[in-house]
Chains A and B, each alone.
Chain A
Amino acid sequence: MSIAVNITQPLDDFSLQVDLALPKKGISAIYGVSGSGKTTLLNCLAGLIRAEHAQIAVDGTVWQDTHQGLFLPVHKRGIGFVFQQSSLFEHLNVEQNIMYGAKRRGFARYATEVKEAITLLGIEALLGRRCASLSGGEKQRVVIARALASAPKLLLMDEPLAALDDQRKQEILPYLEQLHHRLQLPIVYVSHSRDEVSRLADHLVLLERGRVLASGPCMDMFSRLDLPLSQAPNAGVVLTTCVSHYDSQYALAQLAFNQQYFSVVTEKVNVGQQVRLQIQAKDVSVCLVKPAQSSILNSFEAHITEISVIPGAQVMLKLTLGQHTVLARITKKSADELKLEMGLVVFAQVKSVALLI
């Protein structure tokens, strides 16, 4: 399955013009500030908006082709759609909501798809409840389960966490991560939250005023110095790695990292488990000699592959260690005094690492 989207659709003060090919599995995040056209793009893909000019084909099936005058209505696209605000049917209870889509796609209550959706989102205990009695977080979980129970070919999510407070977000994120790991289902996820994208996305599409600025694997995109992602105050990279050891005395997880190891203080994780790390550029400093007797646990040898001057008399360094890349933001003064240049081998010290499981 592949998702080919070519859309031209006028918006208020600019027009959405995208030509994208999204991967057939994993989470593709459409990332951009509010008003950049993300939701319009998603609605066109879903068929909730009939784009003025569009060629949309998913898995070889044409969903829209304005040249041929083809338009497949929403209810025939076999999608799941999760809105920012809960879209539960208030006149039905939780179980009836779950079964609404499942029934229409021919799944009974005991079908594997339905049972799996209910377990995956942990809503067994909510099935008999009325929707009005659910919390915001529970509602979104039911909405996601309802979409999954109809076994969609493609799941579209429009800022599913944006309407929730931080605590509720943290409550749902693990379920989304589970979804990501357990299902083969391709997901297109619209978000303006860097945190959510870092945690969830495999593929990242940067949207700015209706145009695609860049599109590619999430890990690569975060380390590109030519994109505005690296200009943000919280710029940094996301790395995938494996837990190689867990020290319960110090609550330290050791992560394998290009024949070197990273230590991260964290709750119990399983050895062998795949994890995501987020390393912000502001937390990385560089030394010319190997640091000794430092309180900073993590330092590693890397070489400078790119240097870019950024506003505020600062310099962004791209450091490469094997196939991995880390960004470091230092002052222009330090860069000059250390005579940093391309290809130079340095020791990077990482003050803090966020573990995104």
Chain B
Amino acid sequence: MGLTETDVLALFTSLKLAGISTLVLLFLGTPLAWWLARTAWRGKFLLEALIALPLVLPPTVIGFYLLLALGPAGPIGVLLSVFGIESLAFTFTGLVIGSVFYSLPFVIQPIQNAFSALDERALDAAASLGASPVDRFFSVALPLARTGILSAAVLGFAHTLGEFGIVLMIGGNLAGETQVASIALYEHVESLNYAAAHSLAGVLLVCSFVLLLGVYGLNKRYRIGAL
């Protein structure tokens, strides 16, 4: 397959974006999913609906609002300028922020499901054996939910890899910085370079399929619902 240097760079940018976004998502999503799985708060459904929004919303809509928010006149842009940071629109960091919103439901839901399915008795037993709440979270809840968390990581990663609409809105098309594989592919098609488009599309297809194979393989083995 003939991948150009820009294609390889775009693929690398995609992988970097997906990797960093997944890490951020796991870091933020795990405590949030834990809280959602255990809270008795009545307004929980509001937050759940909000988190699920990217599942149904056209990514361009999210991208559009993020563009406004991150731009120099937007609330986040203004806030950042106070700290001397220039607009995040059309930067890699901006892309990470967009991806985190975009892939949040794909990470939250499997982890929340895994936490909800936890045997309450195991946590109670851990408490009776002298484990504090934080200790119980790390020594019992996390290890028991590990397949859910792994599913979440793979799904979040794969989903971010396929991101297009948001990048189009807030990413721009800077090779090595914000040009991701899906955008590079779009460019190839725009310029009627179907051979190059084939190569890149093929690589993305195989990557995504292999990742999903991993998720479904895990589910078959551990019977934990991913979504």
Indicate whether A105 reaches chain B with its CB closer than 8 angstroms: yes
Indicate whether B223 reaches chain A with its CB closer than 8 angstroms: no
Binds A, one of B6-14, B64-72, B128-136: B128-136
Indicate whether A191 reaches chain B with its CB closer than 8 angstroms: no
- B21 CB to nearest A CB, Å: 28
Which of B126, B127, B131 has most A Cβ within 10 Å?
B127
CB within 8 Å of A: which B115-154 residues = 119, 121-122, 124-133, 135-136, 139-140, 143-144, 146
- Is the pair A83, B130 in contact by a Cβ cutoff of 8 Å? no
Q: A75-B132, A89-B122 are in contact. Are A48 and B127 (CB under 8 A)?
A: yes
Indicate whether A81 reaches chain B with its CB closer than 8 angstroms: yes
Rounded to whole angstroms, the CA-CA distance of A91 and B148 in the bound complex is 14
CB within 8 Å of B: which A77-96 residues = 77-81, 83, 85, 87-91
- A190 CB to nearest B CB, Å: 14
Sorting the interface of chain A by its residue count into under 10, 10 to 19, 20 to 34 or 35 or more gives: 20 to 34
- Is the pair B144, A89 in contact by a Cβ cutoff of 8 Å? yes
- Is the pair B130, A150 in contact by a Cβ cutoff of 8 Å? yes
* Chain B residue nearest to A146 in the complex (CB): B129
Inter-chain contacts of A75 with B (CB < 8 A): 127-133, 135-136
- B20 CB to nearest A CB, Å: 29
* Chain B residue nearest to A77 in the complex (CB): B128
A to B contact number (C-beta, < 8 Å): 69
- Is the pair A83, B144 in contact by a Cβ cutoff of 8 Å? no
Inter-chain contacts of A143 with B (CB < 8 A): 125
Q: A90-B144, A91-B146 are in contact. Are A83 and B125 (CB under 8 A)?
A: yes
Q: A81-B125, A100-B139 are in contact. Are A87 and B119 (CB under 8 A)?
A: yes
Indicate whether A104 reaches chain B with its CB closer than 8 angstroms: yes
Rounded to whole angstroms, the CA-CA distance of A101 and B136 in the bound complex is 12
Inter-chain contacts of B119 with A (CB < 8 A): 87
Rounded to whole angstroms, the CA-CA distance of A87 and B122 in the bound complex is 5
- Is the pair B130, A104 in contact by a Cβ cutoff of 8 Å? yes
- Is the pair A101, B144 in contact by a Cβ cutoff of 8 Å? no
Indicate whether A46 reaches chain B with its CB closer than 8 angstroms: yes
Interface residues of B (CB under 8 A from A): 119, 121-122, 124-133, 135-136, 139-140, 143-144, 146
The 5 listed contacts between A and B (C-beta, < 8 Å) are A46-B128, A75-B129, A76-B130, A85-B121, A100-B129
